[in-house]
Amino acid sequence: MPSRYKYTTIKTNKKGNRVFRPTMYPKIPLQDSDIFIYPIFGERLDNLAQKYYKDVSLWWIIAKANDLDEAHIGLEVDKQIRIPTNIDFIINRLKDMSY
């Protein structure tokens, strides 16, 4: 399974420990191809990422598009969620932002 840290730079600190630099996720603009859904009870971001992207590690795309953070384990069933479909564009922007 791919990691969401795939494009995060890894460096070594002064103690010789491996650390990740902060990952700056790109803004995800609204696009005509986006899908809007109402989640069912108990649905989570990782479940939606698996359903729409076939990759649970891409949950952060849905979170970023909806101004959610990883503390949102369960989604509200009465709140519409945007599912970006052009993920190649988003991942390429993430690669460009990595340092």
Decide if 8 is inside a domain.
no
Q: Residue 43: helix, strand or coil by DSSP?
A: coil
Residue 53 belongs to what domain range?
25-97
- Spatial CA neighbour of 63 closest among 53, 92, 2, 98: 53
- Spatial CA neighbour of 25 closest among 83, 64, 81: 64
pTM of the model: 0.72
Report whether pLDDT(25) > 80: no
What is the per-residue pLDDT across 78-97, written as a single tens digit (0 to 9) for each? 899 999 999 988 888 887 76
Decide if 7 is inside a domain.
no
Report whether pLDDT(65) > 60: yes
Structural domain count, the chain: 1
Q: pLDDT value at position 15?
A: 85
Report whether pLDDT(1) > 50: no
**b/e string for 65-87 if b means 16 or more Cβ within 10 A?**
bbebeeeeeebeeeeebbbbbeb
Q: pLDDT value at position 42?
A: 87
